[in-house]
Structure formats: C-alpha cells, structure tokens
Amino acid sequence: MTDIEDRIQQIAQVIGQLDDRQVPRNIRNLSNDAVEKWLLNKDKEMDLRLGMTASILDDIFNDANLPIHYGPLCLQIQTALETLLAEFRRS
C-alpha cells in the first residue's frame, strides 16, 4: 500500500501546480479541497479518495475559466488517478 500512497503524494504535488496566480481563485480552492479533503485524507476509503479527486478534477477541466495551458495537466492527473484506482480495485 505504500507504493499507492507514494504515488498519491506525487499526484498531490502535481495538483499543487494549479495553485498559481494565473488560475482563478475558485479553481485554486477546488484543487486545494481535492487534495486536502479527499486525496490525502486517510480517514476516507481509498477508492472514495481517488474517485472524488478525479471528479473534482473533471469539474476543474470543464470550467470555462481554466487557463488553456492547464487543461492537459488536468487530463494527465485524471488519467493517473483512474490508473491508480484501477490498480487499487485489482489488489
């Protein structure tokens, strides 16, 4: 399980790239909530942590105010979360 937690930490660091002045405040707040309330919250079940974080990232990706150069980053994060979730469910 430590491999998954290590990868979650890496994903959290990548999501942290959205904490940029070029990104609107509501999106920064959403990304911070995704990390703090869901992704890194060990009180929640792993599949819920990953699924809710992916859902929030989907909302961010679909936000019309997201600077265009952050779109691919959101997609990469979502892909990593979905891969991790699939691996977790298989184990």
3-state secondary structure 57-77: HHHHHCCCCCCHHHHHHHHHH
What's the pLDDT score for residue 91?
Answer: 81
> What percent of the chain shows pLDDT beyond 70?
99
What type of residue is 87?
A: E
Q: Which CATH number do you get for residue 58? A: 1.20.1440.50
Which range marks the domain in which residue 59 is found?
Answer: 2-90
What's the pLDDT score for residue 1?
Answer: 54
Half-sphere exposure of 22 (CA within 13 A, CB side): 7
First and final CA of the chain: distance in angstroms? Answer: 10
Domain count, the chain: 1
